[in-house]
Structure 1
Amino acid sequence: MVIARLIVKHIMRLRNTISRRYRMICWKWQYGEQFQAKKFHFRDNFHIYIEEQGILQIGENVFFNNGCSLTVREKVSIGDDCIFGENVKIYDHNHCYRDNDKLIRLQGFSSGEVKIGEDCWIGSNVIILKGVTIGAHSVVGGGVIIYKDLPEHSVTICKQECHTTYIHGRE
């Protein structure tokens, strides 16, 4: 029984490795020079979208956990040895919306390069928005929305307060 479990475990690892290598080949074929990646690892539901003339650079030994996505219109660069928790989203652009005479979907985008330094840990459910630089050796706690630059060797968390109220008549 133990041997059977080990065999199944190794078959599943091999299947996952082949699947990931296939996706890497597809990204290189689809995006060409726009996809510049060294050896990196990712789990299930990892998505890359490179639009227009966007450039995606991923350093060596980078790890993306389940559900991460990178959407690039201009440039996103990620340094070596970074780790990303589940469901991290990175966007280097945002919709324009100020013209009341046009539909938002027709107003285009504003873009700004995203740079993530080496050896960063980005916690689960973090959203990184356009024009942000995260300095090397930084930690971003879970659930934070990053909309401005973070210095090197920093820890960023979101200090949300939990407020509990009672439903009328349930005190």
Structure 2
Amino acid sequence: MGNFFFVRDYCSISVLPGASLTIGNNVFFNNYSSINCLDNILIGDNSIFGEGVKLYDHNHKYGFNPEFSIDKTDFKTSPIVIGKNCWIGSNTVILKGVNIGDNCVIGAGCVIHKSIPPNTIIKNGQNLIFESLQK
């Protein structure tokens, strides 16, 4: 943990034995955020996280054996790296294997499942659909 790591209310940090969580200086996590580390998560200096942000460096293993099943205790893991000076918007989910470059802004509500180059803004592409209730 770096200097001036600040966590607001109702946050959860889980680091399993053998896993590694590295947090830089001046990092801030807002209310209801969680870090779930089974492999390796690195967070750079001066990064801030909005409310409800979730980081998962793992997925449950699943497959056919002989029928489809999801393993409750075995996982596929891959590290997460979040660069310096990043702003991760509220209710964003960051999944295993993602590398977010320095100086990135991730808009609220995004699911990040691919790496993002430095100096990038990511916006949620969800379109709002308006329908009239009038006949």
Instruction: Give the unaligned 5+ runs of structure 2.
Output: none
Greater fraction of residues in helix: 1
Q: Which residue of 1 aligns with 2:2?
A: 38
Q: If you compute each CA radius of gyration, which structure gives the higher value, 1 or 2?
A: 1
Q: 1:69: Cα distance to partner?
A: 0.3
TM-score when normalising by structure 2 = 0.92
Q: 1:166: Cα distance to partner?
A: 5.1
Q: Which portions of structure 1, spanning 4 or more consecutive aligned residues, are displaced by more than 2 angstroms?
A: 99-103, 164-167
In structure 2, which of residues 81, 85, 91 is the aligned counterpart of residue 119 of structure 1?
A: 85
Greater fraction of residues in strand: 2
Q: Is the 8 A contact 1:48 1:71 kept in 2?
A: yes
Q: Is the 8 A contact 1:141 1:158 kept in 2?
A: yes
TM-score when normalising by structure 1 = 0.73
In structure 1, which of residues 133, 143, 149 is the aligned counterpart of residue 115 of structure 2?
A: 149
Q: Which residue of 2 aligns with 1:90?
A: 55
SS at match of 2:71: helix
Number of corresponding residues:
133
Question: Are 1:158 and 2:133 an aligned pair?
Answer: no
Q: Which residue of 1 aligns with 2:36?
A: 71
Q: Which residue of 2 aligns with 1:50?
A: 15
CA RMSD of aligned residues (A): 1.5
Larger RCO, structures 1/2 (Cα 8 Å, 6+ apart): 2
**Amino acid in structure 1 at the alignment position of 2:126:** Q
**Amino acid in structure 2 at the alignment position of 1:78:** I
Q: 1:106: Cα distance to partner?
A: 4.6
SS at match of 1:158: coil
Question: Are 1:134 and 2:90 an aligned pair?
Answer: no
Q: 1:108: Cα distance to partner?
A: 1.5
